Structure 1
Amino acid sequence: MPQASVNKLKLFSLAWPILIEQLTSGIVVMADIYFLSLLGEEAAATAGLLMPYLWIGFFVLPMLSTGGTAAASQYYGANKLDKVVPVFMTNVVLLGLAGLAFSLFTYLNFDNIALWLNFPVQMQTYAEEYLAIMAFTFGFFGLRCAYGSILAAKAMTNWNMLASLLTNVMNIFLNATFFFGWFGLEPMGLKGIALGTVLSYAFACVVVMLIVHIKAQVSFEFTWAILPRMRAVIKPLMKIAIPSAAEPANYTLQQIVVAGILASLGVLAVSSYTFVLRFLFISMAVSWSLAAAGQIIMAHHMGARKLDEVDATYNRCIKLAMLFAFANMSLFAWCYQPLISLFSDDPQVAFYAKWLLIICIVMEPFRAINIVAGMGLKAVGDGRFAATVGVAFIWGVVPIIYLCSISWQLGIIGAWACFALDEVIRGLINHWRWKTYRWHNMGIT
């Protein structure tokens, strides 16, 4: 990518396709749960309870792939184009192996995972049938993420969006085909839903590969001479990739632990918690989209050593993400009654939800800082600090959540206040780290 093209990178033109991709990313899961609900409430509940486990793959692999995006973007910015293809190829190998490893682990343990998660006996059969097929998803998904990172590094986020939309359409079509037995096929029920999801991700993988090699005209080198060049970029790539994956991996595991704590608070409290989480998705998607787009631009400018441009992009992302999060949660808190009534008519649920949303007015702007600052630090090569702070607070807050919600009997509101405090402190620490400008002497170029 010539330097002239780097200078033309625009935040909004990169961010809006990422936002659409984020907003539609949950459709595959929603479609699976819808079709499973046609089998009965137990089947749908099984898929819902499996989500924390499945998100280990669906959340961590995309974050791991951002190491390739940031590394390649820095090399583009530094005009070291000879290192770009080795980064792309190394990232494909890394993500392919990581996805394959998670697929293999899931397949070898599909009959134990439900037991580990303490599923009711009547749901374990559903879980085993679903996971035995869904296990094959992550090998394709890992490659999809690796190739998606190539398009992101080349500022072609609109093509990633297109691939995501095609995946959703294909998933719904295949689910319906296998579930109902269209085109003369035998209805496959739950197994058909899982198979449809696997094939839709395989389809997405092929589509993105074609876009990369045909539209983006990226050519891989399959000669022995490429191996030393790949070895040369492994260390700088992992310097970004490992911290990028460490925090989401620990966050996903933390959510499994926290769900077990909150389950003892009663159905109404947990229901309000679940409903409010749905309202957070929009502001989190906007913050992530701005952060991901900003990360691409910051990495390009970091490679070119345009440090003022890096800082200016960071500041713009922070302001926009915080402003949207504050306005969005203020609106939801103001209109909480009709919103919650979409899910429940219980006044106790509405009471809990109101206070959770009020806390969100403070929490979500700081979460926006956390997302942007964390990804910004990883983009400029200071990801180890953000990851260390993130992992320490992710697990450090768990005993405090238990104390507030259970021991001190503050319930779901006390637990939610702990979440808010965690986001506020982490956001301030990461923002302070950025403003020390120690990252000026970092970067992989």
Structure 2
Amino acid sequence: MIKERKWPLFSLTWPIFIETLLYMLMGNADTLMLSQYSDGSVAAVGVANQIVFLVIVMFEFIAMGTAILTAQYVGAKDEKRATEVSLVSITANFLFSFFLSILLWLFGKPLLYAMKLPNELLDEAYAYLSIVGGFLFIQALIMTIGAILKSYGYTRDTMYVTIGMNILNVIGNYLFIFGPFGIPVLGVRGVAISTTVSRIIALIVIFLLFVKRTKLSFSPSQLLSLPFYHVRHLLKIGIPSAGEHLAYNTAQMLITYFITWIGTEALTTRVYTQNMMMFVWVFGIAISQGTQILVGHFVGAKQYDDAYAQCLKSLRSAIVVSILMSSVCFAFADSLFSLFTTNKHIIETGKRLLLLTIILEPGRSFNLVIINSLRAAGDVKFPVYMGILSMWGVSVTASYVLGIYFELGLIGIWISFIADEWLRGLFMLWRWRSKTWQTKSFVHHHLGTA
């Protein structure tokens, strides 16, 4: 039985915050450790990860639909359909992600050629992409099972798994980058192996937790008898939801392509700066994901006024925190950049970018919190339409005009990011206040579970 449970936002958010922070630290650990090995290796992994992130967005088609549907079913106390959606989503995302992982392993090098990666970075980037990309279906399964656990309110479980995964990853990085005890120094290839092995172990643990929490048993006959019409419902939510992420990541890939025109040093500066910005993003991401769970439960229970108030309350918190954290990052910019590099030009450019980030991050807060709330309520198409319009019409276009044509470099590109985040954010606020989303609940409107 799904029990009546009420969570304050903080009780859901703090484990998500730690989990998300550690996910980002996993990338930062790779970057920080590789920076002791080679600045070029940092740039190579940074570009390879642009492709990895794009493929991960494809996995989110199902994972995001799972999170929204499960949360609404839990709110509506429909245990049967919550269980069915969970099992169907795990099976479907495994098959889909395994296919994409094979494609990434086979065609990784042509993709890197298409991004005009400097020749000196190509071998290292492909070494990383072939290993991490070939096993990326492991990450898809972790994402899907984690989304289900969070929708049930078990945010601490996914946090503990992420803590363990990060510890294993850092240990592996240390062994393969610095080569203690006679272990061969593998550089970028070693980082890729460490990342993949830690994910495999994390998948085993999170799957066992999932079985324990949901008390489900698995058999081939049970999986074959599942109502796979749920896949259609998952995709109706998941494709538009992930479409906004897809628009963002493809836009970022094109902007990365622009940055390759500026040079390897600009690529490296962007990677270092965004690694620091992640510590600002993590607060907004945690607040937005906690809000998504609550809004999904409220909508499932038809408590629309509670859902409306929760989103706006969360938004205010996210804006305040983003301004404070981005200001702290700028205040300590010299010390932070010195952890990664001694290149004075990278440090000075990075400081200017962090100053602009104080303006950028409050705009991002609007998008993180309100878009996740709109998705949780079933209003999944509007953020995609606005995302494509703004990310491509504003961010990509202005990045080229300011960064390349007017030769403002990374400064011009950061200004384009500011314009994009604030334009989209204000439109999202207008959409939430219109309350159109109250008519979009997938559980009640499409499945008649009211």
TM-score, length of structure 2 as denominator length: 0.87
Corresponding position of 1:393: 390
Contact 2:287 2:314 in 1 (8 A): yes
Cα offset for 1:284? Answer: 1.0
2-structure distance, mates of 1:187, 1:341: 24
Contact 2:34 2:42 in 1 (8 A): yes
Corresponding position of 2:446: none
Corresponding position of 2:284: 287
1-structure distance, mates of 2:275, 2:126: 27
1:56 aligned residue (36, 40, 54):
54
Alpha-carbon distance change, 225 to 339 in structure 1, aligned in 2, over 3 angstroms: closer
Q: Structure 2: where are the runs of 5+ without partners? A: 444-450
2-structure distance, mates of 1:177, 1:273: 27
Contact 2:172 2:194 in 1 (8 A): yes
**Residue identity opposite 1:138 in structure 2:** L
Cα deviation, 1:134-183, whole Å, max 9, x if unaligned, reads 23321111111111112111100100011111112222344555678889
Corresponding position of 2:418: 420
Corresponding position of 1:20: 18
Contact 2:84 2:226 in 1 (8 A): no
Cα offset for 1:358? Answer: 3.8
Cα deviation, 1:274-295, whole Å, max 9, x if unaligned, reads 4432332122111111110110
RMSD of Structure 2 on Structure 1 (CA): 3.0
Corresponding position of 1:2: 2
Corresponding position of 1:103: 101
Contact 1:270 1:412 in 2 (8 A): no
2-structure distance, mates of 1:29, 1:408: 32
Deviates more, 1:404-413 or 1:141-150: 404-413
1:255 aligns with 2:261: no
Corresponding position of 1:330: 327
Deviates more, 1:270-279 or 1:18-27: 270-279
**Residue identity opposite 1:48 in structure 2:** G
Alpha-carbon distance change, 203 to 271 in structure 1, aligned in 2, over 3 angstroms: closer
1:316 aligns with 2:313: yes
1:243 aligns with 2:247: no
Deviates more, 1:173-182 or 1:274-283: 173-182
Corresponding residue SS for 2:7: coil
Alpha-carbon distance change, 184 to 346 in structure 1, aligned in 2, over 3 angstroms: closer
User: What does 1:30-49 correspond to in 2, within 5 Å?
Assistant: 30-33=28-31, 42-49=40-47
**Residue identity opposite 1:204 in structure 2:** A
Alpha-carbon distance change, 196 to 149 in structure 1, aligned in 2, over 3 angstroms: same
Alpha-carbon distance change, 432 to 264 in structure 1, aligned in 2, over 3 angstroms: same
2-structure distance, mates of 1:35, 1:338: 17
Corresponding residue SS for 2:108: coil
User: What does 1:32-431 correspond to in 2, within 5 Å?
Assistant: 32-33=30-31, 42-58=40-56, 60-62=58-60, 64-175=62-173, 191-220=189-218, 222-223=220-221, 227=225, 229-231=227-229, 233-265=230-262, 273-334=270-331, 336=333, 339=336, 352-353=349-350, 355-397=352-394, 398-431=396-429
**Residue identity opposite 1:303 in structure 2:** G
2-structure distance, mates of 1:89, 1:81: 13
1-structure distance, mates of 2:172, 2:329: 36
Alpha-carbon distance change, 225 to 48 in structure 1, aligned in 2, over 3 angstroms: closer
TM-score, length of structure 1 as denominator length: 0.88
Identity within the alignment, %: 26
1-structure distance, mates of 2:430, 2:54: 29
Give the paired residue count: 442
Deviates more, 1:390-399 or 1:30-39: 30-39
